[in-house]
Amino acid sequence: MRLQPEKPPSAESLAEFDLRLIEQLPVAAYVCAAPSGNIVRFNAKAVELWGRTPKLGDDGEKVCGSHRIYQLDGTPIPATKIPMLDVLREGVVIRDQEVILERPDGSRIYVAVNIDPIVNRAGEVIGAINIFLDVSERKLAERQSQQLLDIIHAEFERLSRFFEHSPAFMAVLRGPQHIYEKANKRYLNMIGREEVLGLRVADVLPELESQGFILKLDQVYKTGQSFVGRDLRVTLRDETGTAHEKIVDVVYEPLFNHNGEANRILVHGLDLTKHKQMEEELQRRAEELATSDRKKDEFIALLAHELRNPLAPIRNGLQVLALSGDKPEISTQVRDMMNRQLNHMVRLIDDLLDVSRMNRNKLFLRKSRVSLAEAMNHAVEATRPALEASGHELVVQLPPENLYLDADLTRLAQIFGNLISNSIKYTEPGGRICFATEIHADEVMVMVSDNGIGIPNDALPNLFNMFSQVHGRERAAAGLGIGLALVRNLVEMHGGRVTAESGGTGCGSCFRVFLPLPQTADLAESPAPITQQTEPPPGARILVVDDNRDACASLAMLLEITGNTVRTAHDGLEAVNLAETFRPKLILMDIGMPMMDGYEATRRIRAQPWAADTTIIALTGWGQERDRQRSQDAGCDGHLVKPVSRVDLDALLQRLESTRVD
């Protein structure tokens, strides 16, 4: 005997359960409180089936409020006898009880009811959850099939139209040989045939024998008992021999002659294949979204870690400089360290921007005649600080000096630099890294190999995928998992390919980049040498415009140290007014500023006659192609992305000097 609580449980006693879970169910569901039957939670699918949104609250709507319920024969179910109230009173479980639900607009649907009680820790029923399904389509097919059974002997021809256009697939089989007597278009489409009348099922679909369906037909014919199968998987071969897996609800129904003997079988059912495939696809996408969301969170956490790593030594360096006093050896050491960490941050941000461009197909190459040896040297120089810090030995084998490619020099150096950096990260201190080339008939191979920790065999297929992490966070310098993805993309943009090999964990790794050799003779010739002064000439009048006062002041100090006359402005309007009186030869213009942005300030300065010989360079944190185009359209002569390096400044001042007329 079930013990009842001293006082009726209230809707609030359901608060210990997370009823929001029903909102995620793909089917209709609602929860009622005991003993009142008041609805306390429902999902969107329930509202769709009910045809209205019920009220909630302490005096909420009872489950039978505006939804009249009938037996399948049309007999009304009394409000005190509805299935939900039986569960709330007695704690019983109801499975697949089919009823007719009348909605507020007068429409009726068939519903399969599945109700489970909700009990508290004391075993008391405090509510119940109903998961109900609209089975109208199935009931309609069953009803149409039953109608067919009732009159098939007397009016078979009159039912042919209904038979053909039924939402179910149907076929009539005659005699123990199961010869097709009739089949509708849905059945023919399902089995992939155009005509089957007069043929045996075993001859048309011999594959059914091994799957047990011919035996089921034999049993129905011999016993006179129906066979009902739900969610059955069956493999069918069409006229071309191609196999198709179907998921069906099927009924084998015996048909009797006037002597009461089974002489035919009606095969009818529903092809659920597309519906099931859609369910599986939705499940797959849900899993992909969950995985993508997890990877996004991991990437954000990893990005924060990678950005904090160089910030820590930079902050420490500033504190050391503040405390060290006049000690040149310490100042030099700290400056070198801070410069390395700043370069690391710049490379990290540049990689992220390249990933963004790559995902939007905005990554492009500036090809020219490029010395392969020069690109390799650039990569070595870019990675030398990390090599020296790790104590690695780098063995370099350069190609002939006259080997030139049709390529982007910067991107080639980025490809090789990323591969060398990868070997540095995954090789223990004091390791050995080889950087070599081989020339083949129509391509050159550039190889980066190491004696590091190696790559597990199962990780090789996904090694060049975005955010791939072979060794995960346990490797302190694992990075963001985007470097190798960029390598593959840039190599393929050059018409080449990249491969990775490893003997497994602890056996080192080897990356090979294959690039096509030029097809025309002139590309193999050395371009004319470019001479550059190593130090920029002093003496230019320069206006630095930036709303970040620290950035503005520090850049002005750097330019003044080299002998230039510098003025500063912190918004666009101030820049326009100051330029009118200062008449600078060079303006370094920030873009995002208060009062007036850099684009508008550039346009106003360009409108002045005296500014015809003034060079205006956009100096901004915005580095996408559209940003460069906007600055060019506003009248800028160039576009530099923060933080600007001393090399870029020197080159800019050198070009300015070469155009100056004394």
**Mean of all residue pLDDT scores within the chain:** 81
Residue ranges per structural domain of the chain:
11-134, 139-271, 277-359, 368-524, 541-659
Interval 415-443 mean pLDDT: 89
11-134 and 277-359 share one fold = no
Specify the CATH number for 277-359; select among 1.10.580.10, 3.40.50.11810, 3.40.50.970, 1.10.287.130: 1.10.287.130
Res. 661: pLDDT tops 60: no
- Yes or no: say if 614 and 587 are a contact pair by the CB < 8 Å rule: yes
Work out whether strand 68-70 and strand 94-102 pair parallel, antiparallel, or are unpaired.
antiparallel
- Yes or no: say if 552 and 568 are a contact pair by the CB < 8 Å rule: yes
Q: For the chain, what is the total number of helices (H) and then of strands (E)? A: 18, 23
Res. 276: pLDDT tops 90: no
Q: Summarize pLDDT for 507-519 with one digit per residue, the tens.
A: 889 999 999 998 7
Task: State the Cα–Cα distance between residues 467 and 479, nearest whole angstrom.
Answer: 9
Q: Quick one: which of 634, 631, 635 has its CA closest to 615?
A: 635
Q: Summarize pLDDT for 304-329 with one digit per residue, the tens.
A: 656 665 676 777 777 777 767 777 77
Q: What's the CATH fold of domain 139-271?
A: Beta-Lactamase (3.30.450)
pLDDT at 229: 92
* Residue 413 phi, psi (nearest 5): -60, -35
Query: What class has domain 11-134?
Result: alpha beta
* CATH code at 541-659: 3.40.50.2300
Q: pTM of the predicted model, to two decimals?
A: 0.41
Q: Tokens 């001859």 identify what position?
A: 203
Cis, bond preceding 643 (omega within 30 deg of 0): yes
Amino acid at residue number 270: L
Helix, strand or coil, per DSSP, at residue 421: helix
Interval 392-411 mean pLDDT: 87
- Yes or no: say if 128 and 87 are a contact pair by the CB < 8 Å rule: yes
Task: For the chain, give the percent of residues with pLDDT over 70.
Answer: 81
For residues 285-324, one letter each, b for 16 or more C-beta atoms within 10 angstroms of the residue's C-beta and e for the rest, the string is eeeeeeeeeeeeeebeebeeebeeebeebbeebeebeeee
Q: Summarize pLDDT for 83-136 with one digit per residue, the tens.
A: 888 899 889 999 989 999 888 888 889 999 999 999 988 888 999 999 999 988
Residue 5's pLDDT band (cuts 50, 70, 90): very low
* CATH code at 368-524: 3.30.565.10
- Contacts (Cβ under 8 Å, ≥6 apart) of 58: 11
Residue 6's pLDDT band (cuts 50, 70, 90): very low
